[in-house]
Structure 1
């Protein structure tokens, strides 16, 4: 027996399942092969010198020689080492299922790298693949494992599969399986073909992948099919959707149910891995659409309903659920809608247009939720109305504006756009009616209790005397045209995230709540006078019409030496040298005009976007004035607010003015008539404006939010009247703080008993305080731990909510296991991101994942 023959016998002795050993000419020399033809072989062994008669050879392998151990010599290079030969090698399938002889001694290789010889699986793997293991890439893959002695059969198998996938490092099984599934998409057909060709050259890799797939999904890939993972995808899609639900008789797919909790846990980890990145999320959606379409979403919804607790929600399932919420519940059960949508947002991770629809639904539901808690709209005093506007009514306006802003970001091609439009039409009408009812009661109260004198707050025309006059430090005043109180309320939330301290208080604007009257009144003055020009009226300040920035500057300097007025655009150029010169002045009035400039001629989208622009510009400017130009105090106020309704106002909706008048607009007219007019409230102009020469002039405003028929038009966005939205203006006082002494907001867990279901923990946290001038935002890190090691991804959450409502500061958190854990109790830990040693919260969590589902099939 020669040395080569002895090595051949060793192959068969070590692997009792080996039937065919291939020898290629690049593994041995010609003299050695000549010896093989002349030697005697043990009983049951057969040597074949393969000359190309593949049909006969293959037939005999399957029939005449099926009980023999076959040694085949092939006069060519190995197709396992030269990929281009694989498609033309007729016995490739036989080779893939068996082994190739290597002249390199596997034992020498194992000795060279110190591999353990007692691991028979590892030994067989090295023996079969010793040539590939000597390649530079494989050595780079495994060298660190060789050196630290941690190499295993599993690592080698994953290394080979990772190499077949073109990965730069060894992937874990979750990543491998996800890649295998995503290869099933049409756009990856080339990669899929190359991958499976390579896999056929490594029997162990095929077996290991097949076992993992079968353990998880109950089926493996089908190498004989073009759509190799189609059946797996169907099982995967169905089970990630319905795993929380007990199967029902009508369910035609229930035979593919996975009941094993470990398999479901693994499946969920693969799902979460796919959903962790936008690119793989889109790929998963595409995969389910292409290969999982036989699992019809419409059938699942029909069987289990829109209220079912689905584990994962692809878009096709989201659509009918959201449609039901929009059409049937948003007006009457808004809290349920909010909770359901928040759940959908967690389960539906696709960053698609559906997200905008869900955002819209939540904002609209919050408006209806707030409206349902308002109680009686009939209050006793004017001050009560102002207080209620601050605490409640202004949020109705804010939600309506934000809802419109979100609506205009929804793609009209969205499948749910018709349902969204119906909600919007209903919202427009309901908001209009509610605003009118509130303001009918407000104007009635003013009329019955003594007019504006019964409102006990800062009057706009006293702004300078009461707020600015006594301040001896450098001061900046920003007058933002039409900065409605609710917009300023959102702005103060943004400012709360800065280091400086700001506060928001309401003031009452003059009537008419019109720019030409209100804006000049914010400047210092001795007297204000009505200045008539035919049917156009104006207001003189100390006998001057201050209708330009230059005139306002000259007027301001009379009261404060060196004071100056500038347009916002000049400061917003952020020219450091120019701005330093501007803010050397002791008092700077900055006139900002984004909302009003857009509002009068803009459509609804432009109007709400202008409010967002105002917030963005001001939240950037105010800290800059403090930090860069050393201005200690900044005041932000407005000349007036506005009414906004995205509805058409027909002629029948416009109140006709029958009296003689000095001036008229959509929300007021000036008249000397004191006669009562149905649907109209009149106030003496000298009592509501501060003008001194108008003892015989009345300002007439429509009750509620009605509009007058006027040549000036502008019915969607309008002001001038006495509605709360027009009259209540903000006064923000921002003061520079050198040190950040704010305390971070707190956090607590709302759920009492925490338990994991199907490898997922879902719970709610509460940000216990709103971010404000006293409390700052807080970054936290949340995860599940076992023996102080995280067993879920660590989630970073920023607690930055400024909403005063507790309900709007709830945060739903979703954690999914990414490791196999057999512990019955895990720990939920919440850390401040600045201190990861000492958890703020530590709670035990029951691991119900270990309990098998008891569904009956």
Structure 2
């Protein structure tokens, strides 16, 4: 104790020349006697008041005085040193005084220290409180900061206290409530909650309060019991990373206690879509959307608008994104198929129609199945999945490939010399780079069908400084790997090796990267090589990678993830997941090439594929009686000599297929599959369907200047004054989302100039593609807090628009719009 007193007194003497010390209980006389402070003369009051007064008042030196008394402090009219006490400083050594001195607080806070004495028993709590205290803090300020220490929050405000308290309660931790009571802070805490939120209870508890808050904001009652401030309280809770799990758990418990399911059963979809307090609401919305979609009782535009409203709600990302996206893609798919009216005139016409629009149906189906699988094929989507399978298989794949088959049947030979033929790939796309003496990288992804290539192109365009364009090409037939890979190499002639399905390129073996590298070198004047993507990615970009690249003008890079996944009967169900992985991998390869000073890249494929997620029935397979010498037979083609079969097969000779070898091939018509033991049936290729024979050629260049920008967001501002505690704002997306103009996500709120949040927050992703500006208008009503018409009345505030920072879970200022708050006191009343 004496060391603390010495330190405290030494600190006080820095700003005071005379200090009076009353040790009324005569506990610290020994400490006084031992005390030595340089430049300070000690005086002990022992009926010598006049002597001490004379010494102090007549002092002309720099001496300072400590006046000590171990007697009770005299009454003012009996205190001969009162004038000096009033002029100088009094030092206290009771327990409360010691606490206040350590905190740097005046003795006027003694009652506060006494009331909450147990709080100050912990040095850790005292140290934390000292960090929070500021000059001029009131009793209320200090208690708020004590509550912050008790609840262990980073911020000193009531909303954060409730978030922390509610989260602790949801985890079964009632220690915070006990600590508030133990430190005599509970009454203060609940009084503050009562004042701000109009919460009244004889036995207040955090769960009872939150029960009312959730109930009011779900509109279970005609008249709210609490103030509208609870809307912001709950909104902020959902957006707070530290406490959002607690919101989840509290909401789940309240769902049961308020029997939310019964309410949702009678709540129209149009009203349910505005709630984000309960996880069950999303299940209700998804259920209703699915039922309406199955019954054809909702338009695609209306359904997409409902889903757009849910995009930034609390439960969307962690729990229901795949559900909503399944429904979204299903609706798009259904809408596209219903609008179809297509006939095909020729091979080139089919290519043009498929690459301009029809590929979208296969894309939408892939995305539907991908998201459906992410939901673990939840039963809520099972009927919809069944409908989509039937639509996709019968109304699209079967019906339009039957139409396409009429074109195939009319062909006398397969196109290999037209510019759109895969056989012209090297001459058309690679040779020009060689002629201009520019290095080019060719990435060949096995089974990357056209619609997958379109998605990759769109992903690349969104990457700044990437320029990407796509065109379609018709593969060789049969559309299988060996022939497709050979067709992409420089060549004069292709032939199928007798008795096999292996392909010779100008009489050279073409299987494997070593063989293909040899063909590239021998059939061109350029420095060429071939390498597996996995080996290429092992290079260190700035060292071994650049050393490797310098040796060549043309580098073929091969990767086989999609085909490898689909061809295996144990993994064929994961082929759409494999596509997602492959697109990401190709982007990584392209970035690696760029880091090796590569600027010209081409991405293509050997063939596409057909995939149906449902288990095929026996009737989906074709049994044929094939005559002749069979060398190779799979689900979609037969190779051999002197082959003939039924009308279910289209026959071509090797010569008709542009091959120099002898023999012929049989191709099942439309999407028919042959009965073949041991091979997978969901993922197939080799035939002549559009999905199998249309592949992408994607040219990618890296630019030195920016190639993308985000859409701009503005507001329609009719006034610069806020006169009610509801502010309606119209946001305008000023330009249209396109290849080069990307979407922009914003978070908007009303904020005081000191940074205090004065409204709920509005988050939205502006990705509108409509040309009409009126269709790019998004409206929101901000609920302002009571502070807006109280503490901040008549002050300038701003509508703050923020956007997320790249690679960080933080937001930065995008735009600010200023208003003056002029809200009438009558607007503070929720009801009257």
| TM-score higher than 0.5 | yes
Contact 2:133 2:145 in 1 (8 A): no
- Give the structure 2 partner of residue 365 of structure 1: 331
- Give the structure 2 partner of residue 160 of structure 1: 146
Aligned counterparts, 1:350-429, within 5 A: 352-372=318-338, 374-380=339-345, 382-411=347-376, 417-429=378-390
CA apart distance, 1:507: 0.9
- What do residues 274-299 of structure 1 show as CA deviations (whole Å, max 9, x unaligned)? 21135522212322344663211122
CA distance in 2, matches of 1:344, 1:815: 16
- Give the structure 2 partner of residue 213 of structure 1: 194
CA apart distance, 1:618: 0.8
Does 2:635 match 1:666?
yes
CA distance in 1, matches of 2:754, 2:23: 52
Change beyond 3 A, Cα 1:159–1:656: same
CA distance in 1, matches of 2:829, 2:403: 60
- Give the structure 1 partner of residue 533 of structure 2: 568
Change beyond 3 A, Cα 1:559–1:498: farther
CA distance in 1, matches of 2:504, 2:495: 5
SS in 2 for 1:188: coil
CA distance in 2, matches of 1:751, 1:443: 55
SS in 2 for 1:346: coil
CA distance in 1, matches of 2:277, 2:254: 17
Contact 1:217 1:232 in 2 (8 A): no
Which of 205, 208, 211 does residue 231 from structure 1 map onto?
208
Contact 1:458 1:506 in 2 (8 A): yes
- Give the structure 2 partner of residue 436 of structure 1: 398
Change beyond 3 A, Cα 1:289–1:318: same
CA distance in 2, matches of 1:538, 1:750: 64
Of the structure 1 ranges 337-346 and 644-653, higher mean CA displacement relative to structure 2 is found in: 337-346
- What do residues 404-424 of structure 1 show as CA deviations (whole Å, max 9, x unaligned)? 222332247xxxx21223332
Does 2:178 match 1:193?
yes
Does 2:240 match 1:277?
yes
Contact 1:686 1:692 in 2 (8 A): yes
Aligned residues: 719
Contact 2:532 2:558 in 1 (8 A): yes
Which of 683, 708, 716 does residue 682 from structure 2 map onto?
716
CA distance in 2, matches of 1:706, 1:306: 42
SS in 1 for 2:585: helix
Contact 1:259 1:852 in 2 (8 A): no
CA apart distance, 1:463: 0.8
CA apart distance, 1:826: 7.7
SS in 2 for 1:525: coil
Contact 2:627 2:643 in 1 (8 A): no
Which of 562, 566, 588 does residue 599 from structure 1 map onto?
566
CA distance in 2, matches of 1:354, 1:845: 40
CA apart distance, 1:398: 1.8
CA distance in 1, matches of 2:536, 2:132: 62
Which of 410, 425, 431 does residue 463 from structure 1 map onto?
425
CA apart distance, 1:660: 2.5
- What do residues 87-121 of structure 1 show as CA deviations (whole Å, max 9, x unaligned)? xxxxxxxxxxxxxx9968999979x979799xxxx
- Give the structure 2 partner of residue 50 of structure 1: none
Unpaired segments ≥5 residues, structure 2? 1-21, 28-91
Contact 1:745 1:771 in 2 (8 A): no
CA distance in 1, matches of 2:559, 2:534: 8
SS in 2 for 1:258: coil
- Give the structure 2 partner of residue 76 of structure 1: none
Root mean square deviation, CA, Å: 4.8
CA apart distance, 1:673: 8.0
CA apart distance, 1:145: 8.6
CA distance in 1, matches of 2:816, 2:349: 41
Which of 280, 304, 311 does residue 316 from structure 1 map onto?
280
CA distance in 2, matches of 1:180, 1:487: 49
Does 2:514 match 1:550?
yes
CA distance in 2, matches of 1:742, 1:144: 49
- Give the structure 2 partner of residue 528 of structure 1: 494
CA apart distance, 1:525: 1.0
SS in 2 for 1:218: coil
CA distance in 1, matches of 2:568, 2:532: 21
Contact 1:500 1:736 in 2 (8 A): yes
Which of 638, 644, 664 does residue 605 from structure 2 map onto?
638
CA distance in 1, matches of 2:818, 2:385: 43
SS in 2 for 1:532: coil
CA apart distance, 1:28: 6.8
CA apart distance, 1:235: 0.9
Does 2:302 match 1:302?
no
Unpaired segments ≥5 residues, structure 1? 1-25, 32-100, 243-252
CA distance in 2, matches of 1:723, 1:743: 36
Which of 579, 584, 587 does residue 554 from structure 2 map onto?
587
Aligned counterparts, 1:798-813, within 5 A: none
Contact 2:232 2:759 in 1 (8 A): no
CA apart distance, 1:271: 0.7
SS in 1 for 2:290: helix
Does 2:492 match 1:511?
no
How high is the TM-score relative to the length of structure 1?
Answer: 0.72
CA distance in 2, matches of 1:845, 1:360: 45
CA apart distance, 1:619: 0.4
Which structure has more RCO (C-alpha within 8 Å, separation ≥ 6)? Answer: 1
- What do residues 171-217 of structure 1 show as CA deviations (whole Å, max 9, x unaligned)? 2011123333344336112333233222xx25xx6145235236525
CA distance in 1, matches of 2:761, 2:254: 32
Change beyond 3 A, Cα 1:138–1:658: closer
Contact 1:685 1:691 in 2 (8 A): yes
CA apart distance, 1:427: 2.2
CA distance in 1, matches of 2:247, 2:648: 60
Change beyond 3 A, Cα 1:312–1:735: closer
- Give the structure 1 partner of residue 15 of structure 2: none
- What do residues 467-523 of structure 1 show as CA deviations (whole Å, max 9, x unaligned)? 222322222211211111111112122222142322211111111111121111111
- Give the structure 1 partner of residue 13 of structure 2: none
- Give the structure 2 partner of residue 479 of structure 1: 444
CA distance in 2, matches of 1:705, 1:847: 70
How high is the TM-score relative to the length of structure 2?
Answer: 0.74
Contact 1:214 1:220 in 2 (8 A): no
Change beyond 3 A, Cα 1:849–1:445: farther
SS in 2 for 1:408: helix
Which of 741, 745, 750 does residue 706 from structure 2 map onto?
741
CA distance in 1, matches of 2:640, 2:772: 48
- Give the structure 2 partner of residue 254 of structure 1: 221
CA distance in 1, matches of 2:295, 2:367: 17
- Give the structure 1 partner of residue 52 of structure 2: none
Change beyond 3 A, Cα 1:560–1:815: farther
CA distance in 1, matches of 2:819, 2:513: 65
- Give the structure 1 partner of residue 5 of structure 2: none
